[in-house]
């Protein structure tokens, strides 16, 4: 097997696993064949695992900085090329969670070493690529590819899209800003009583707690909460709504990102309501949705209700930026 993907530390069904599954399809269409290494191997058993497949591979794709280190050790001297698929800013993400400057500088040093170990890179946005090339100028001389998180979902034609319907799809971590979404929806239903709100999350208890604490009685009356399983259920859920929220704080972690939710919303014809934190994609979102400043929006004494920009507008932005066909030529060039 010429190319392998390291799965150590990646939970089945998580966002990274989903994104890789979709990108892998693009690589296979382009002629690449992939195997998996270290699948299901725990950290305790890592150095007992069979390393022969790693040492025989020509290219090894790693999705975390920790994978880069492990694969570098295992493959040392084999001539294998390590491709680091950069998911985010390791040091900055950890600092947002832990607020430890010591951990930040340690992770920054480890990240720098990982960029030295890797032979080439896949970035999820042009903003991310440019940021890392400024941070590590030596990386400029290595091969790189920009692939946003793509979506292969499609709008379900047998689903009737509900007029003035809004949705939130995702988890309840603080950085996902569900509380802000609820506050915005309070204003939306006050200005347009015919609006409805649909939430799909696995964190049902947290979601209901936030709704009880923040949602107005009017919003609670028009809110439905559910859990979805699999791409088909996600497609059908999104095919029935007009608007989808993707609210992010304006910080470096979000500036470089390419949320898979953005691609899924657009591929199913949803008008996205987001912020300009997504530096590489905010301008394109404006064509099919809305880019807002939540603090300004929430402080406005009166608002104009959002107007659905149409299924075709969203699908066109998806086709141009977040579809398999939009990145196919770049992938083929990267593989050759």
Tell me the residue range of the domain where 267 lies: 165-322
Q: What is the pLDDT of residue 20?
A: 82
Q: What percent of the chain has pLDDT over 70?
A: 99
The total domain count for the chain is 2
Task: Give the tens place of pLDDT for each residue, 13-22.
Answer: 788 888 888 8
Task: Specify the DSSP class assigned to residue 270.
Answer: P
Q: How far apart are CA 54 and CA 31, in angstroms?
A: 20
Task: Report the run of H or E that residue 60 belongs to, with start and end.
Answer: strand 59-62
- Both tokens of residue 101? 């400057």
- Of 328, 329, 334, 336, nearest to 152 (Cα)? 328
User: Does residue 89 carry a pLDDT above 90?
Assistant: yes
User: 330 lies in a domain?
Assistant: no
Residue at 159 is within a domain: no
Binning pLDDT at 50, 70 and 90, where does residue 30 land?
confident
Confidence band for 270, pLDDT divided at 50, 70 and 90:
very high
Decide if 26 is inside a domain: yes
Q: Does residue 305 share a domain with residue 173?
A: yes
Residues 186 and 304 in one domain: yes
DSSP 3-state of 30: coil
Whether 66 and 214 map to the same domain: the answer is no
Per-residue pLDDT reduced to its tens digit, 167-190:
999 999 999 999 999 999 999 999
Model confidence at 2, in pLDDT bands (50, 70, 90)?
confident
So what's the pLDDT on residue 68? 96
CATH number of the domain at 186, please.
Answer: 3.40.50.2000
């Amino acid at each position: 097997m010429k190319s392998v993907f390291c799965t150590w530390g990646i939970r089945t069904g998580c966002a990274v696993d989903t994104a890789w599954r979709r990108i892998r399809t693009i690589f296979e269409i382009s002629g690449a064949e992939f195997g998996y290494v270290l699948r299901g191997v725990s950290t305790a058993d890592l150095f007992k695992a069979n390393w022969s497949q790693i040492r025989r591979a020509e290219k090894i794709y790693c999705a975390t900085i920790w994978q880069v280190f492990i694969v570098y050790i295992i493959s040392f001297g084999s001539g294998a090329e390590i491709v680091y698929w950069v998911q985010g800013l390791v040091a900055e993400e950890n600092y947002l969670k832990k607020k430890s400057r010591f951990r930040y500088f340690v992770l920054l040093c480890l990240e720098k070493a990982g960029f030295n170990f890797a032979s080439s890179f896949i970035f999820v946005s042009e903003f991310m690529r440019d940021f890392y090339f400024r941070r590590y100028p030596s990386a400029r001389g290595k091969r790189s590819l920009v692939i946003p998180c793509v979506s292969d979902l499609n709008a379900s034609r047998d689903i009737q899209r509900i007029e003035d319907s809004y949705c939130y799809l995702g988890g309840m971590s603080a950085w996902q800003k569900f509380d802000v979404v609820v506050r915005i929806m309070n204003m939306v239903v006050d200005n347009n009583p015919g609006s409805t709100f649909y939430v799909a999350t696995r964190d049902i208890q947290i979601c209901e707690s936030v709704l009880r604490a923040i949602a107005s009685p009017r919003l609670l009356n028009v809110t439905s909460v559910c859990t979805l399983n699999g791409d088909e259920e996600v497609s059908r859920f999104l095919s029935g709504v007009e608007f989808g929220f993707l609210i992010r704080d304006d910080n470096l972690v979000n500036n470089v990102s390419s949320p898979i939710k953005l691609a899924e919303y657009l591929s199913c014809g949803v008008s996205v309501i987001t912020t300009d934190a997504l530096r590489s994609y905010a301008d394109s979102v404006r064509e099919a949705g809305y880019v807002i400043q939540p603090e300004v929006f929430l402080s406005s004494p009166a608002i104009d209700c959002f107007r659905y920009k149409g299924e075709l507008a969203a699908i066109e932005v998806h086709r141009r930026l977040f579809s398999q066909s939009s990145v196919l030529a770049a992938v083929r060039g990267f593989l050759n």
